[in-house]
Amino acid sequence: MTASEHDDFRRRLDAWPPGSLDRLTSDDPELRAWIETEAGGEAWRRHEAEGAEIAARLADVPVPHDLAKRLRRRLRDLQNAEIANDDQRPRPLPSPDRPSRSGRRQVIGWLAASVVVLVAGSAVAWRFWWEPKPTGRTEVAQSSLGWAALLTSEGWQEVEATILKRAPVPEELGAMPRRCAIVATDFDRRTMVYDLSGPEGPLALLYVASADRRFALPDRFPLEPDYTTGRHAVGSMFRDGRLYVLLVEGDARRYRESLRGVGPLG
Amino acid sequence: MLEADGSHDFEPGVDGGEVDGAEAEASSTGRAFERWIDDHHGDVYRYAARLSGSPTDADDLTQQTFLQAWRFRDRLESADRARGWLLAITRNQFLKELRRRRPESFTTIGLEEVELVETRSGDRSDDLAELLEGLGDEARAMLLMFYVERLSYREIAAELGIPVGTVMSRLHRAKGRLRTDSERRQERDERKGRG
């Protein structure tokens, strides 16, 4: 076998995930046969070792200790909702010691309308009892850095009183927005963004999102930014059902000045 | 099934009265699903955490995954495939959310996405998390489909509806970065060992 043929097999091997030796027998017998050679065997062992190391690193994530308990609680809520809403027999899960349900399902004959009611009821129940963890400053900061990219130069409009009523600017900022725009963010599809920059000063944007989720945030802007990126500083707060994110061009000092009304907002 | 506090966490029958056939089957189904939760919630959460890069999103994604699994539980014909099925639901939920969030077109106004630098303690992400984030959402999803779901290039292409060549080129780059990172880690560990 030539060197280029070996290289070709190595490339083909690259397309298979670790632990797929059995599948190769049926899916790529030629490659499987190459693995039986000395060069192929060596390549396969390296491939497996590398894959195992990467998979182990990827799996190195702490799991919340109460996650299973919370999931089981949601399941019970769902089940109770189903029993209360529907007197049909529930759908069992497949199990190794149980025959496939597909045949029996045909005999029983689910009524489509009942399924819709069942699914809708389950979704409502899940939604009602679902208690996602509150969103923290990390998620808000990471998300907000991408929001600026949603703005277009044509999207700005005049700030009107009705807009300020719907999405008020916190008084402590002591700034009057020059213009505003609406962007879709992770938290509100109609997030208001105010441009608080001075005429020639560095950029300062205030996002106001009406949020229907919980946030683990203070009800005032932090005196120090939650994050700085080297070029920008971000701080966030949650007040009166609204998420506020202040994004300032500059460092932490510029952020602090903005809050005191002497920086770009002043 | 017993809770950590010793109490039964599933009681058949709504009001404690006589259990009829339907409720008994509901109980059996519920217990089987609870076993799925116990067996697979860790894998699902870890996958969700690597996909999303955020513990909060991972928590939400895990809950969505088990909700979907419960809703469509009759679609799974073999319990042996539960793990792969749950991971596929997790990935599909993540990609669906990604498409929903992504704007159709936009222009920047001078801001650029740069690496976050913390100004307070806590929330430090590990090197691998940073590397995965740097790959971008789609390449990261492909990489995880390969190493966690153990799908071949061809299967990834079929799942995502893209050419195999695209999967090949994206994963070639992503794997290269992972390899370099692993080599650096090894060198660092060796230096520490010598020191």
Three-point CA angle B78, B82, B84, nearest 5°: 115
CB proximity under 8 Å: B 18-77 to A:
21-23, 25-26, 28-30, 32-34, 36-38, 41-43, 45-46, 49-50, 53-60, 62-63, 66-67, 70-71, 73-74, 76-77
Q: For chain A, first and last CA: distance in Å?
A: 75
Q: What sign results for the dihedral spanned by CA atoms A27, A32, A33, A39?
A: positive
Is the confidence at residue A145, as pLDDT, over 90? no
Domains and CATH numbers, chain B: 1-101 (1.10.1740.10), 106-195 (1.10.10.10)
pTM above 0.90, yes or no: no
CA R_g for chain B: 21
Q: Concatenated DSSP letters for A186-252?
A: SS-TTEEEEE---SSS--EEEEEEE-SS-B---SS--SS-SEE-SSEEEEEEEETTEEEEEEEES-H
Q: What is chain A's mean pLDDT, rounded?
A: 78
C-alpha span between A93 and A89 (Å, rounded): 13
Find the CB nearest B34 among A27, A75, A232.
A75
Give the nearest chain A residue to B131 (CA atoms): A58
Q: How confident is the model at residue B8 (pLDDT cuts 50, 70, 90)?
A: very low
What's the ipTM? 0.72
**Number of CB pairs < 8 Å for A and B?**
223
Nearest Cα neighbor of A100 from A92, A111, A108 is A92
What angle do helix axes B137-147 and B127-135 make, rounded to 10 degrees? Answer: 120
Each residue of B67-90: pLDDT tens digit? 889 888 877 777 778 899 999 999
Q: What 3-state DSSP class applies to A182?
A: strand
- SS3 assignment for B47-67: HHHHHHCCHHHHHHHHHHHHH
Within 10 angstroms of residue A170's Cβ, the number of other Cβ atoms is: 19
Q: Which of B35, B36, B41 to mutate to test the interface with A (most CBs of A within 10 A)?
A: B41
Q: How confident is the model at residue A160 (pLDDT cuts 50, 70, 90)?
A: confident
Cβ of B106 and A149 within 8 Å? yes
Q: Using an 8 Å CB-CB cutoff, list chain B residues near A60.
A: 126, 128
C-alpha span between B137 and A246 (Å, rounded): 26
Each residue of A192-241: pLDDT tens digit? 888 888 766 677 889 999 877 788 888 888 888 887 776 778 889 998 88
Q: What pLDDT, on the 0 to 100 scale, is given for residue B14?
A: 32
Q: How confident is the model at residue A159 (pLDDT cuts 50, 70, 90)?
A: confident
CA of B67 vs chain A CAs: smallest distance (Å): 8
Find the CB nearest B113 among A71, A134, A146.
A146
Contact A17, B152 (CB under 8 A): yes
What angle do helix axes A38-58 and B164-194 make, rounded to 10 degrees? Answer: 80
